[in-house]
């Protein structure tokens, strides 16, 4: 099935290869959000507090973000296929443990441990997905393939709460994990057959163990601070201590990586202005999306009084628009060029975010779905071209490193964004209430107007991010590393 001369999968294996990688991206992204809606049920099942049960989600994100850079480097050394298949095995076993062990072994603590084990597999999968497309897919199919996997990754994140709600309501919370098992088995068997083998790269100086420890410690501490800051209190000794650990670890990591013979993350790549701009665009896209994914369901339930299941269905407008735009991006990639696609994508993104700043208590559901569709369409157009630009800006020997970096830039900003948007909502509501002297005794409709205005203030940040994304898209250039010179004419045909 492999093409040993080029290291790419032959055209007849393209669909199966992309399907295998897409399964990984969809399932790992889905599992990052699918448990959120089941947390109240899990809390009742184990009789634990809401702050305690939140660790079902936090522990997964903490380990995944902390490990993703490390496995990107390991994949460059050991080969992508080995890491990919091992990741799916661990992810599938971890999913079984999450649904099965808590009922028989140690209760709630075993669920947290199983989620952390599952997250190791997720980090392995996410760290190599983009690298496998960059390495194994032919130039004329690269844009289409990247569009598909990035679209399904974002789709998994968006659909998680909806699927989780259905499974929890009609079966049990255990099934939000059991659903991964048959998918995992199929993906392992399929991946073993269709994914080409890549030759391990010989490295000088051995694996950067200190860099791996510092990367995990710093990134895991960052996730803990932003996720648990409001729970513990931003000035609590726990949060302040973890913040110090984060700063020290990440600072030491950067200094160490600049001197390491074979670093986990080559910090020198960020000396290139264009590389920084491209990575910043990707991070800001997912940061801005986090506000919509996190806050809008609260608006729909608290202000518009929709049921949870209905709110989830409304949110699918974003997902379907993203799917349509992802397919368009795959077709238009070679004709239009990645830079122009990013510029074009910024327009509906900005329009959608602008509409989100105009929500009221009487806003129609059609208006909300139009805004979501515009945002989803912009996201579907921009994610794959900017990811491809990042992947092709550095040598192929660092594909795993870049793949893990783009995964980090999808998940990390969403964690930070949730905390940021939540703080903005609370600040906006308090500010408006004080300004108009609105108290707890105010009529219910007045309180809803204040809450709605708070959402508008929070969504202004997304609008600002959208404008910045457009400006950066105008500034970014299509720089191709010599390793991809043979593909450059195809990939930037529609260039500047």
pLDDT, residue 462, reads 92
Domain termination site, one of 179, 199, 219 = 199
CA–CA dist 317, 358 (Å, integer)? 18
In three-state secondary structure terms, 409 is: helix
Please indicate, yes or no, whether residues 376 and 359 belong to a single structural domain of this protein. Answer: yes
Residue with tokens 């091992």: 86
Nearby residues of 5 by Cβ (< 8 Å), 6 or more positions away: none
Q: What is the CATH number of the domain that holds 391?
A: 1.20.1250.20
Integer-rounded Cα Rg, in Å, for the chain is 22
Residue 266 in any domain: the answer is: no
CA–CA dist 62, 432 (Å, integer)? 35
CB 217 within 8 A of CB 70: no
CA–CA dist 214, 209 (Å, integer)? 9
Please indicate, yes or no, whether residues 366 and 492 belong to a single structural domain of this protein. Answer: yes
* Structural tokens at position 42: 């899990």
Residue 429 in any domain: the answer is: yes
* pTM for the full predicted model: 0.79
Please indicate, yes or no, whether residues 15 and 133 belong to a single structural domain of this protein. Answer: yes
CA–CA dist 28, 105 (Å, integer)? 25
Residue with tokens 């199929």: 186
Residue 487 in any domain: the answer is: yes
Residue 378 in any domain: the answer is: yes
CA–CA dist 54, 36 (Å, integer)? 8
Please indicate, yes or no, whether residues 231 and 354 belong to a single structural domain of this protein. Answer: no
In three-state secondary structure terms, 423 is: helix
Query: Residue 264 phi/psi, 5° resolution?
Result: -65, -45
Q: Which candidate, 138, 125, 129, 131, places its Cα nearest to that of 9?
A: 138
CA–CA dist 386, 373 (Å, integer)? 20
Residue 495 in any domain: the answer is: yes
pLDDT, residue 1, reads 37
Please indicate, yes or no, whether residues 373 and 337 belong to a single structural domain of this protein. Answer: yes
Please indicate, yes or no, whether residues 256 and 310 belong to a single structural domain of this protein. Answer: no
Please indicate, yes or no, whether residues 278 and 411 belong to a single structural domain of this protein. Answer: yes
* Structural tokens at position 419: 């905390």
Please indicate, yes or no, whether residues 178 and 229 belong to a single structural domain of this protein. Answer: no
CA–CA dist 411, 416 (Å, integer)? 9
Q: How many residues in the chain?
A: 496
CA–CA dist 455, 444 (Å, integer)? 17
CB 180 within 8 A of CB 121: no
Q: Per residue, what are the HEC states of 217-236?
A: HHHHHHHHHHHHHHHHCCCC
Please indicate, yes or no, whether residues 219 and 248 belong to a single structural domain of this protein. Answer: yes
pLDDT, residue 437, reads 63
pLDDT, residue 461, reads 92
Nearby residues of 218 by Cβ (< 8 Å), 6 or more positions away: 245, 246, 249, 250, 253
* Structural tokens at position 32: 């990052």
In three-state secondary structure terms, 174 is: coil
CA–CA dist 385, 292 (Å, integer)? 22
In three-state secondary structure terms, 6 is: coil
pLDDT, residue 469, reads 95
Domain termination site, one of 158, 178, 199 = 199
pLDDT, residue 373, reads 93
- Counted domains in the chain: 3
For helices 273-298 and 365-391, give the axis angle rounded to 10 degrees: 160
Residue-range definition of the domain harbouring residue 123:
1-199
Sign of CA dihedral 345, 346, 352, 353: positive
CB 69 within 8 A of CB 249: no
CB 34 within 8 A of CB 122: no
Vertex 406 angle, CA 403 and 412, to 5°: 135
Please indicate, yes or no, whether residues 322 and 248 belong to a single structural domain of this protein. Answer: no
Report the run of H or E that residue 457 belongs to, with start and end.
helix 444-475
Residue 445 in any domain: the answer is: yes
Question: Within the chain, which residues score under 50 in pLDDT?
Answer: 1-7, 10, 492-496
Please indicate, yes or no, whether residues 125 and 255 belong to a single structural domain of this protein. Answer: no
Please indicate, yes or no, whether residues 131 and 249 belong to a single structural domain of this protein. Answer: no
Residue 267 in any domain: the answer is: no
* Structural tokens at position 155: 């789709």
CA–CA dist 227, 479 (Å, integer)? 36
């Amino acid at each position: 099935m492999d093409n040993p001369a080029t290291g790419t999968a032959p055209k007849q294996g393209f669909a199966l290869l992309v399907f295998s990688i897409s399964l990984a991206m969809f399932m790992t992204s889905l599992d990052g959000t699918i448990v959120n809606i089941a947390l109240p049920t899990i809390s009742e099942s184990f009789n634990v507090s809401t702050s305690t049960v939140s660790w079902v989600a936090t522990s997964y994100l903490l380990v995944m973000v902390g490990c993703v850079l490390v496995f990107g480097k390991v994949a460059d050394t050991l080969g992508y296929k080995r890491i990919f298949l091992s990741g799916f095995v661990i992810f599938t076993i971890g999913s079984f443990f999450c649904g099965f062990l808590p009922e028989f072994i140690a209760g709630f603590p075993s669920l947290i441990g199983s989620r952390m084990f599952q997250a190791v597999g997720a980090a392995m999968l996410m760290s190599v997905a983009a690298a496998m497309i960059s390495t194994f897919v032919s130039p004329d199919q690269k844009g289409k393939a990247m569009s598909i996997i990035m679209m399904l990754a974002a789709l998994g994140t968006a659909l998680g709460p909806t699927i989780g709600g259905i499974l929890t309501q009609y079966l049990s919370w255990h099934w939000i994990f059991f659903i991964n098992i048959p998918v995992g088995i199929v993906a392992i068997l399929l991946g073993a057959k269709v994914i080409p083998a890549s030759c391990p790269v010989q490295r000088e100086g051995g694996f950067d163990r200190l860099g791996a420890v510092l990367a995990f410690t710093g990134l895991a501490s960052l996730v803990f601070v932003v996720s648990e800051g409001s729970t513990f209190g931003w000035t609590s000794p726990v949060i302040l201590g973890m913040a110090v650990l984060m700063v020290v670890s990440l600072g030491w990591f950067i200094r160490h990586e600049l001197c390491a013979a074979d670093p986990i993350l080559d910090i020198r790549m960020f000396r290139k202005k264009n590389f920084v701009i491209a990575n910043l665009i990707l991070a800001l896209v997912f940061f801005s999306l986090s506000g919509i994914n996190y806050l809008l369901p609260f608006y729909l339930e608290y202000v518009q009084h929709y049921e949870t299941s209905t709110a989830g269905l409304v949110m699918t407008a974003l997902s379907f628009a993203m799917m349509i735009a992802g397919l368009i991006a795959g077709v238009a990639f070679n004709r239009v060029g990645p830079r122009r696609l990013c510029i074009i994508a910024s327009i509906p993104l900005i329009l959608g975010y602008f509409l989100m700043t105009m929500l009221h208590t009487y806003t129609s559901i059609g208006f909300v779905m139009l805004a979501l569709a515009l945002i989803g369409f912009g996201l579907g157009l921009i994610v794959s071209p900017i990811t491809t630009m990042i992947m092709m800006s550095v040598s192929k020997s660092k594909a795993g490193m870049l793949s893990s970096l783009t995964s980090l830039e999808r998940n990390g900003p969403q964690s930070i964004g949730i905390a940021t948007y939540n703080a903005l909502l609370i600040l906006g509501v308090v500010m408006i209430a004080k300004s108009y002297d609105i108290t707890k005794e105010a009529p219910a409709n007045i309180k809803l107007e204040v809450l709605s205005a708070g959402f508008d203030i929070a969504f202004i940040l997304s609008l600002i991010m959208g404008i910045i994304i457009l400006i950066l898209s105008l500034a970014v250039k299509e720089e191709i590393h010599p390793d991809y010179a043979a593909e450059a004419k195809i990939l930037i045909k529609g260039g500047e």
